[in-house]
């Protein structure tokens, strides 16, 4: 099986770029952030603080997490409930960043991620795919963009959905999450030594997809 590891900070467009590239190549796209989000959603739903390691560990004992592909789109199920449409709120985003600092949470998700790459050609995106989850991936890319560009894109996305949020608040959230994700002790966000850095600050979405697809094709 062929595996592509794509890591990078939040809002760099990893998921949408990877999804398009995977469709073009006939690979599956695994958005691993959705797994952390699903666990955070489940914690919040059960009234558990996403920084409370002890209660989270207890909750994991009764938690089953699955990935399914419905019409080519990734769906995440927690104890049989499809939570895909419920995990994109700002509260869940920060909750996911909180729980992802915890070792037992990361271990809990490791086998599922590796199994998917053993059985499929994958483009897997996250924070530690090239460094921890798939250290032998065939290609590793670190996809990034400046915090300002990422905030600008998020601002526009929200406007399109009819939600208005101040640009400065979005930028602050992005900077906070970047700091938290890259300064944690376990599996912090950082480019793998053998990754190629792709900065999308000045390139369009379509050109980002093209670039990533070409890089993969060159390795196939
Ligand atoms: O990619 P995302 O924004 O959906 O990820 C949500 C959070 O999950 C992110 O802030 C950090 C965490 N995460 C992680 O620690 N490791 C991954 N492989 C993917 C996500």
195 CB-contact burial (10 Å; exposed 0-12 / middle 13-18 / buried 19+): buried
**Per-residue model confidence (pLDDT) at position 11:** 87
* Distance between CA atoms of residues 12 and 195, nearest Å: 16
Over residues 51-96, the pLDDT tens digits come to 999 999 999 999 999 999 988 899 999 999 999 999 999 899 999 9
Q: Which CATH architecture has domain 3-219?
A: 3-Layer(aba) Sandwich (3.40)
Do 121 and 27 touch, CB atoms closer than 8 A?
yes
pTM to 2 decimals?
A: 0.94
Atom number in ligand 1 closest to CA 36: 8
User: What separation in Å is there between the alpha carbon of 96 and the centre of ligand 1?
Assistant: 6
Residue to mutate (ligand 1; options 83, 96, 150, 177; most atoms within 8 A of CB): 96
Q: What percent of the chain has pLDDT over 70?
A: 100
At 108, is the pLDDT very low, low, confident or very high (cuts 50, 70, 90)?
very high
Distances (CA, A) of 190 to 19, 172, 177: 22, 20, 14
Residues with Cβ within 8 Å of residue 186, at least 6 apart in sequence = 101, 102, 103, 106
Backbone angles phi, psi at 12, to 5 degrees: -80, -5
């Amino acid at each position: 099986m062929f595996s592509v590891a794509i890591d990078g900070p939040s809002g760099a467009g990893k998921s949408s770029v990877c999804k398009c590239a995977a469709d073009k190549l006939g690979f599956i796209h695994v958005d691993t952030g959705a797994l952390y989000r699903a666990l955070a959603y489940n914690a919040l739903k059960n009234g558990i603080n996403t920084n409370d390691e002890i209660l989270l560990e207890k909750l994991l004992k009764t938690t089953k997490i699955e990935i399914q592909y419905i019409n080519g789109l990734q769906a995440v199920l927690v104890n049989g409930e499809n939570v895909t449409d419920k995990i994109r709120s700002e509260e869940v985003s920060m909750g996911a960043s909180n729980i992802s600092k915890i070792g037992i949470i990361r271990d809990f998700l490791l086998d599922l991620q590796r199994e998917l790459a053993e059985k499929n050609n994958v483009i897997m995106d996250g924070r530690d795919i090239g460094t921890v989850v798939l250290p032998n991936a065939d290609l590793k890319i670190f996809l990034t963009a400046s915090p300002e560009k990422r905030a600008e894109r998020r601002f526009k996305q929200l406007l399109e959905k009819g939600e208005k949020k101040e640009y400065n608040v979005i930028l602050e959230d992005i900077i906070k999450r970047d700091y938290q994700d890259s300064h944690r002790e376990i599996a912090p966000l950082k480019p793998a030594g053998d990754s190629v850095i792709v900065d999308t600050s000045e390139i369009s979405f379509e050109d980002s997809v093209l670039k990533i697809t070409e890089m993969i094709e060159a390795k196939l």
